[in-house]
Amino acid sequence: MSTSRHQPIAPTVLRRLDAGAGIDAHRHDDHQIAYAARGVLAVATDQGHWIAPADRAIWVPAGTVHQHRAYGRTDLYLVGLTENPLGLTAPTVLAVGPLLRELIIACTSSVAATPADARLRAVLLDQLEHTSEQPLKLPTATDPRLAAVCALLIADPADPRPLAQLAASVSAGERTLSRLFRSEFAMTFPQWRTQLRLHHALILLAEDHPVTTVALRCGWSTPSAFIDTFRRTFGHTPGRHLDRSR
């Protein structure tokens, strides 16, 4: 994933990133919570892309080589942890409620390993044990036929062609591609395309595009159809999301 500006990281820190800024590929010995209190954060590895608005965070397991990318002006909180309360072995998007949000922010304000800091982190770990995982991942294809179809739609999420036509454009069979979506991504083609469009929508919203523009550029037939899908996925409307991200 290319970026226009890059900044170093620390195990537990707040970074304020301009739109388009990023953190180059790196790894760390501790697990990490990456949370954007403002803006939208994307994390990329060689296995896929994860994206999180202000009510989500991304869990990055220790040893995972990954990059960060900011969409919109982003306040990025990075919390390093030696514990893995959810037992996660791959990056995962997590729901962030009001209490977990404040705990993440408070942990980045600590400047020393004090007893109070240890207690704060204990509460953070307790909250993590009760948070839910969110299906906001775009996995990376390994089969070249599947990768070719994914590339077409990533370049234009509004492309309305059904799988049969997309398959023909890359000299593959529809049934073959349908099987590959299930075997490689554990998703159907419509599920993957919806994930892609939601990823793109979060980026456009972070860049302050109007909801109607976002809906059409991401391939929804009407703004109301986009709003309905967005609400079912994130629990609130795109308009409310814009207010939260600023």
β-strand 5-6 against 21-26: which pairing, if any? parallel
What does the longest C-alpha to C-alpha distance in the chain come to? Answer: 62
Contact 35, 101 (CB under 8 A): yes
What would the mean pLDDT of 128-146 be, rounded to a whole number? 90
The DSSP secondary-structure symbol of 189 reads: H
Of all helices (H) and strands (E), which one includes residue 23? strand 21-26
Distance between CA atoms of 174 and 100, rounded to whole angstroms?
44
In tens, the pLDDT along 148-160 reads 999 999 999 999 9
Residue of 2, 135, 157 whose CA lies nearest to 68: 2
Amino acid symbol at 194: T
β-strand 66-81 against 13-17: which pairing, if any? antiparallel
Q: Cβ contacts of residue 242 below 8 Å, gap of 6+?
A: 205, 208, 211
Half-sphere exposure (Cβ direction) of 73: Cα atoms closer than 13 Å:
2
Confirm or reject CATH 3.40.449.10 for domain 141-245, answering yes or no: no
Helix (H, G, I), strand (E, B) or coil at 129: helix
pLDDT at 243: 59
Domain residue spans of the chain? 5-114+122-137, 141-245
Distance between CA atoms of 33 and 124, rounded to whole angstroms?
11
CATH number of 5-114+122-137: 2.60.120.10
In tens, the pLDDT along 150-198 reads 999 999 999 999 999 999 999 999 999 999 999 999 999 999 999 999 9
What would the mean pLDDT of 215-235 be, rounded to a whole number? 94
pTM for this entry: 0.84
